[in-house]
Amino acid sequence: MSVLATAVEARVPQTYLAQLTQIDSLSNNTVDQTTLELAVDDVTAMFETYAQLEFDSSDPRMLRLGVDGVLAVLQQNRGQDPKQDKVAAWRDRCREFAGTTSRARISPRSLPGLPATTYPNARPGFDPSRFDGSTPALPPAANDEGA
């Protein structure tokens, strides 16, 4: 069992979690570990996609976000979230979380590229026209004598 699945079981009441994971029989009051692990796998993959980070269960911020994501996915799979509002809100939280990590970078606000030249012939001053007609000589033959 993964750390995220253990955290979900520790934070969510067992009866509620059993209702979310037991899709076939509601009378059973145990948590279906297969359904829970599949939801954990889905959330881990979605977290890496939307937060642009590898899921680290030792980080309490990621763990809390992961628990909320597992609950949202289980509710969606159970049919309690038909519009997928909770999963979409969770994805937005992942994107916001990506902006709070060390990978968040400041976007430049300056214009890229160099300014256009103002020379009359669009030729800079360090490129004189005195070499226009010259053609470089061919290199000497590839022998030791240089001929």
The answer to whether the pTM exceeds 0.85 is no
Q: How does residue 112 score in pLDDT terms, banded at 50, 70 and 90? A: low
Residue 120: the pLDDT is 57
Burial of 84 (0-12, 13-18, 19+ CB in 10 A): middle
Q: What burial class does residue 37 get, using C-beta atoms within 10 Å of its C-beta: 0-12 exposed, 13-18 middle, 19+ buried?
A: middle
Average pLDDT, the chain: 78
pLDDT digits over 19-54, tens only? 888 877 666 788 888 888 999 999 999 998 888 888
The confidence score (pLDDT) of residue 84 equals 75
Please give the pLDDT value at position 66. Answer: 92
Q: Which pLDDT score, from 0 to 100, does residue 70 have?
A: 92
The per-residue pLDDT for range 84-103, each reduced to its tens digit, is: 788 889 899 988 888 777 66
pLDDT in tens, 6-26: 888 889 888 888 888 887 766
Written in H, E and C, the secondary structure of the chain is CCHHHHHHHHHCCHHHHHHHHCCCCCCCCCCCHHHHHHHHHHHHHHHHHHCCCCCCCCCHHHHHHHHHHHHHHHHHHHCCCCCCHHHHHHHHHHHHHHCCCCCCCCCCCCCCCCCCCCCCCCCCCCCCHHHCCCCCCCCCCCCCCCC
Domain-by-domain residue ranges, the chain? 3-98
